[in-house]
Each structure stands twice: as C-alpha cells, then as structure tokens.
Chain A
Amino acid sequence: MDDNSMGDKKRISRRKLLAGAATAATVALIRTVSGQTVHAAVGAKAATPGAATPGAATPGAATGRATGIPGDPTKKPGVPPGKLGTRSSFEHLVKKPSDTSSRSPLQDFYGSITPSDLHYERSHNGVPAIDPEKYELLIHGMVERPMVFTLRDLKRFPALSRICFLECSGNFRTGKETLTPQDICGLTSQSEWTGVMLSTLFREVGVSPKASWFLAEGSDSAVLTRSIPVSKGWEDAMIVYAQNGEAVRPEQGYPARLLLPGWEGNANVKWIRRIELSDQPFMTREETSKYTYPIKDGKIRQFSFVMDARSMITFPAYPVQLEKGWVEIRGIAWSGWGKISKVEVSTDAGRSWYPAQLQEPVLDKAHTVFRLLWRWDGQETEILSRATDETGYIQPTLNQLIAARGEDMGGYHLNPVTAWRIRKDGAVLFVPENRK
C-alpha cells in the first residue's frame, strides 16, 4: 500500500463522515459550479458565494446570519481543502454599479490592498473578452523599430511589482447626508501591479528623442484613446499583466493595461493594444470633451493628469451607529504627487486638528491607512480628516477649490476635505456641501 492509496481511503471515509454529519445537522457541503466546497446552511439564500444580490448587503454589517450554522464549530468536522478559497458566507462585500462605473466598498476594507474582485470599475462601452493567446501590443510611430509584443513577450522582459492607487478623476459625490464612503469616493482602489516598465519597451523599440507624446489605445469597443507625455513613459509608467498576484482581472484590463502611477484612472488605458509615439497630442475625445474642466476666466484646464492629495474617514461613517466611549477613527489618504506625509484629524468640526498615525510602510502614490484614537463623549460633533503630501500640498476644502477654480469648476479632480456629523443618538451622517 503506497501513500496515495492510503490518502484516497482516508478521503473517502472523511467524505462519508461529512455527508452523515450534514444530514444530521442540516448543514450541507455544497459543491459550487466552480468546484468549490463550502459550508452553507440548507435552504439559506446566501449559500453560493458570489450569488449575493448587489444592493442587498448592508455596508459594514455582517448580515446573513444563516440558520443551521452549528453553535459549536469544534464539534463538527470542517470543510476539506479545496481548489479555490471562498469568502465567508457571512461577508457580503459588494461593489455599487451604475451604467458606467462600479464603486469599491471603502468602508468595508481593512488595510490598503483592495481585494481584486472589489476593485472599482469604469469603462466606456463594457468589459471586452480577450483571448490572451491572441493578445498583441503594437508600438509604432516615432520609433526606430515598430514592434509587436505578445503577452508571452511582455512577460519575458524584466518584471517589476509596485503598489499604487488608481482613481477616477470624477470621484466625488455630495448632496445628501445618507452617503457612504463608497458613494462619496468609491472610484478609487489599490492593488499590487506587476508588469514591465514602459521604459524597457521604449528602449526595445528605440523611441525617438524627438517624440514628446504617445497615444495609448485600448481594445474595448470604445477603442479608448489617451495621449500621454513621453516623459511619464520614461519615468514610471508600466504595462501590467498582473494584479495582486494573479492575472489582471478583465474589469481592470485583462490581459494587459497601461499603469500610470498617480495619474487619473482614464489615462491608465485598459486592454491596451497600441502605443503610437508622436510629437504632439492626438486630442482624443477623452482628453478634450471629457476629463477637462472649466477654471476661472472661462478657461478649460486640459491634460490634468495627477490626482491631488486626498483623505477620507471610512470609520465611523454613514450608516454606522456609534457607541459612546473609545473609537478608533480610521481612513485612507493618498496623493498622485508622491507620499502622504501627514494626515490630521479633527473631532470638533475643524476647530483643532491632531496628527493621525500613518500605517507603515508609507508608499509613493499609494493609499495610506491612518488612525486616530478618540473618546466620544456622546455630544454632537463633526469629524474630519485632512491630508498633506510630501510636496507640501494640503488637501483643500470645497470652498478653497471654488476660490481657486471658480464656481463653474465642474466635477473632475475634486478632492475636498469631507466631514461626518455624529448625532447625540450615535447616528453618523455625511455633511453634504452645497454646490450650484
């Protein structure tokens, strides 16, 4: 008898045992379509992971107290090892989709990495299906050697991983008290990205020193295009094919996308198929009629790439019901210009500010977790956070942004300090700003 057959025998008997247990305790081990075996209450709605109805979950709350979960888990054999991990059937994290985008549940996250299936989405005509075997990236224009790279080719080049945030430049909502962090600014997420530096590919094709811009084009049905300064390509742009340790998700650009650390999401062209080097921008629809905004004197600001520093308290936040006593105020801060150097928190509606603790390591152009311990005395107050980055930029108020850009500044690149009102009864509500 070798080890294998021994193992088989063990497994069979274990399975039998488990089946018996399930019958007895009304807990079944359900094999899902993807081949996963999970604990699930018989007849419970949330039996299959991923089948949770969007919108059905209450943010931040552990809903779905399934019936049939044994009172004492030490008295029943558990689920045997499987091919894929699962999210606990008690956890119902979901993105919040609209027709054009889907928002990350910032209030439900711990730490700074966004689980890949909860990364925010923004696309301009849906997520394309692309066969990685047929994928090709063409680089041409002002280069010595126009070249085509397959996905395999891209993976053969020296690779690099970095953690950075992505953010849609239209990432600010206000107007009512009952908004969650996800509603207000859920169009930002963070991943560890792996790929090849664009500078490596620029060397390979021999980019002309006279080239000053490049066009990046996606292979979605919007065939989305943006013009990017070549300097960003030499500095820190990447073509990434992996996200958090596995292939980039389709919603994030599978099989490969452009990554421009710190720059507005739209310019980080997903599903990238073509790069054309040029000596001028192409003035595509996305960089003219969209992703531009009115500033003072009737002018329109264009090529506004970098995301300014920002912070957001994600706890306590609507719809949390706060209890009197010790509260750790938590949130994230980030800047497209570099590292976050300071986050200040006010617990008295902005009269005084205290430095929050920053979670190390503080990374360049990355979501940085901050925390401040506070004792709530049960009186009504407002809590706010304010980020400062290493360039000395201090996150402005909405009024400061209006003073700088004018009343008609539109909806792009708004990063105002936001406040949560805590009522005596413990209700936490967003403090909406009144804008025309």
Chain B
Amino acid sequence: MGRLRRYTFLTAAVVVILLLISGSQRHGGGWAPATDTTGWPASFGFGRTATLQEITAMDISIRPDGRGLPPGSGTAATGQAIYAIKCAACHGKTGTEGPYARLVGPMGDTTKAKTIGNYWPYATTIFDYTRRAMPYNAPGSLSDAEVYSLTAFLLAANKIIDSSAVVDAQSLPRVKMPAHDLYVPDDRRGGPEVR
C-alpha cells in the first residue's frame, strides 16, 4: 500500500516536471531549472559518507585567514636556494626576467607586469598555489617546508617582508599585501549600463 502510494507520487512528480519542461519550450524555448523536487526523497542514498582521513588527505586548500596552513616554517635565505634550482628556469634568476610569469615587482615599480608585489591581494595564495601547482614540470612535488621558504623568498624579494622574517602558519596570514585594498567586487548587474 505504502509502496503503491510512493509510486503514484513519483509518477505524478515526473508528469509535473515533464509539463514544466514542455511548457517552457512552448514559451519561446526558455529553460526551467529542475528545482521542483516534489516527490523526491529527503536523500537518494547514493554515494557514501567521507571519512575524516580521506578529507584530510585531499583538503589542501588554504584560506586567507590561514586555515589549512600546515605546520612548519621557512625563510627567504633557504627559499632563494630552492628558487635557484626549481623556479629560476621559468621565472628568471631574480624573479623579473621570465620567460614565464614575472613574480617580482614591488608596488610602484615601473613594470607593467602583474607581480606578487603589485597585484596579489593575499599572501596565503602564494603558499596555496605554489604547493598545488608548482613547479610546472613537477607539480605537487615540494615539501611544506620548501613552500614556506619559497613564499618567504618571494615576499622578501617583493619588499613585503623583511629578508630575515620567518614565515609559518601564524605569520603568513598576517602579512598585508600592498594591492589588498585595490580589490573591489564585481558591480555589473546586467541592464543597460555598461560597466
């Protein structure tokens, strides 16, 4: 009896969805999002619960408030040595020469390039991006300590932190980036005004 009622309910829901879709097509081909969940169960029961262990293993993202930063630390001096071996081939000896993305160019420098010093709004992004995607030919191969040191080197080269500063989970989110206050959210809203 209960099963029969559920079946009827589902059939009705399918009919409603089909009517909605065909109705929208009649009115000039518009598309109605499938937000009508009438007759849907609270849960389909597909998929499985993620274990804390697998979440921890995959969750590599770092937030601007520092959440996600691992233990460890680094300094510019150590970072400079790693940079020379693993980064300089693409980004240049001092981070200004290229051939790929110029990384160094303090605020007020005459460079037109968007650098960490004149454009990046958050220091935590340097750690996050370098750890997940660099070096280009061996992504994800750097240790957390190496990434902390490279971050310290890049911040110091852009004259944002002192070259003797230690970068770690506590100090990195506190670094105020020169371009931080320039960022504004998108204010385009559609409509006649060009923005």
On A, residues with C-beta under 8 Å from B are 124-125, 138-140, 145-150, 153, 156-158, 160, 162, 197, 199-200, 203-204, 215, 217, 221-225, 235-236, 273-274, 276, 278, 280, 282-285, 288-289, 292, 295, 298-306, 308, 337-339, 360-364, 389, 391-394, 396, 400-401, 403-405
Which residue from chain A places its CB closest to the CB of B43 in the assembled complex? Answer: A204
Name 23 A/B residue pairs within 8 A (Cβ), A-sorted.
Answer: A199-B33, A217-B61, A221-B140, A223-B133, A225-B61, A282-B61, A284-B125, A284-B129, A285-B125, A288-B122, A288-B125, A289-B119, A289-B120, A295-B184, A300-B179, A302-B185, A304-B186, A360-B29, A364-B30, A391-B192, A392-B192, A393-B190, A403-B194
Tell me, rounded to whole Å, the shortest Cβ–Cβ distance linking A8 to chain B.
44
B3 an interface residue at 8 Å Cβ cutoff?
no
The number of residues on chain B lying at the interface, defined by a beta carbon within 8 Å of a beta carbon of chain A, is 56
Q: Are the CB atoms of B46 and A146 closer together than 8 Å?
A: no
Given contacts A289-B119, A391-B191, 12 further A-B contacts (CB under 8 A): A139-B50, A146-B50, A204-B47, A223-B60, A288-B183, A289-B114, A299-B182, A305-B186, A306-B188, A361-B25, A391-B190, A393-B194
Tell me, rounded to whole Å, the shortest Cβ–Cβ distance linking B62 to chain A.
7
Tell me, rounded to whole Å, the shortest Cβ–Cβ distance linking A191 to chain B.
14
Tell me, rounded to whole Å, the shortest Cβ–Cβ distance linking B93 to chain A.
21
Q: Are the CB atoms of B55 and A283 closer together than 8 Å?
A: no
What is the CA–CA distance of A115 and B42 in the complex, to the nearest angstrom?
Answer: 38
- Cβ–Cβ < 8 Å partners of B49 in chain A: 145-148
Q: Considering the complex, which residues of chain B in the window 37-71 have a beta carbon less than 8 Å from any beta carbon of chain A?
A: 37, 40, 42-44, 46-50, 54-55, 58-65
Which residue from chain A places its CB closest to the CB of B35 in the assembled complex? Answer: A199
Q: Are the CB atoms of A149 and B47 closer together than 8 Å?
A: yes
Q: Are the CB atoms of B188 and A282 closer together than 8 Å?
A: no
B121 an interface residue at 8 Å Cβ cutoff?
yes
Instruction: Check A280/B63 contact, CB under 8 A, given A149-B46, A157-B44.
Output: yes
Choose one: A203, A222, A223; the contact of B37 (CB below 8 Å): A203
Instruction: Check A400/B194 contact, CB under 8 A, given A156-B46, A283-B63, A302-B185.
Output: yes
Q: Are the CB atoms of A288 and B47 closer together than 8 Å?
A: no
B31 an interface residue at 8 Å Cβ cutoff?
yes
B168 an interface residue at 8 Å Cβ cutoff?
no
Q: Are the CB atoms of A292 and B183 closer together than 8 Å?
A: yes
- Cβ–Cβ < 8 Å partners of B174 in chain A: none
What is the CA–CA distance of A140 and B60 in the complex, to the nearest angstrom?
Answer: 13
B136 an interface residue at 8 Å Cβ cutoff?
yes
B4 an interface residue at 8 Å Cβ cutoff?
no
What is the CA–CA distance of A92 and B183 in the complex, to the nearest angstrom?
Answer: 45
Q: Are the CB atoms of A306 and B190 closer together than 8 Å?
A: yes
Instruction: Check A337/B63 contact, CB under 8 A, given A138-B55, A285-B128, A289-B120.
Output: no
B23 an interface residue at 8 Å Cβ cutoff?
no
- Cβ–Cβ < 8 Å partners of A401 in chain B: 194
- Cβ–Cβ < 8 Å partners of A215 in chain B: 61
Which residue from chain A places its CB closest to the CB of B195 in the assembled complex? Answer: A404
Instruction: Check A361/B28 contact, CB under 8 A, given A222-B139, A394-B192.
Output: yes
